Amino acid sequence: MECENFGDSWEHELLVEKILPRDEGKRYPLCLTGKRACPPEDCGGIWGYAGFLAAICDPKHPEHEAMLEWVGGEFDPDVFDLDEVNTELQSLK
């Protein structure tokens, strides 16, 4: 399954490996695992995200402070917050 964010041209691929019986003790939809943080909204697609990462990782970059302020003070591209993802998924109706 692929979907696209038309503003930034992101493409996402979801792979369904197995469909399991529903567990009455769990809330759905449910993400089981993932990797890396979601890029900030409206960061400018792949190239904008690359520039954003370059700026926040280099304190001498001319846009370092502005990009950190824009994203709310900090951003770790390697962090995947499974609880946050599941909270967001379960809030969708």
pLDDT tens for 21-72 read 988 888 888 888 888 998 888 888 889 999 999 999 999 999 999 999 999 9
Q: Which two tokens stand for residue 54?
A: 């370059």
**What pLDDT shows up at residue 38?**
86
CA distance 4 to 54: 24
Q: Give one DSSP letter per residue of 33-87, joined into a string.
A: ---SPPPPTTS-HHHHHHHHHHHHH-TTSTTHHHHHHHTTS---TT---HHHHHH
- Collapsing DSSP states into helix, strand and coil, what is residue 11? strand
Confidence of residue 4 (pLDDT cuts 50, 70, 90): very low
Write down the pTM of the prediction: 0.70
Confidence of residue 74 (pLDDT cuts 50, 70, 90): very high
pLDDT at 2 over 50: no
Per-domain residue ranges of the chain: 22-37+80-93, 38-77
Tell me the mean pLDDT in the region 74-93: 90
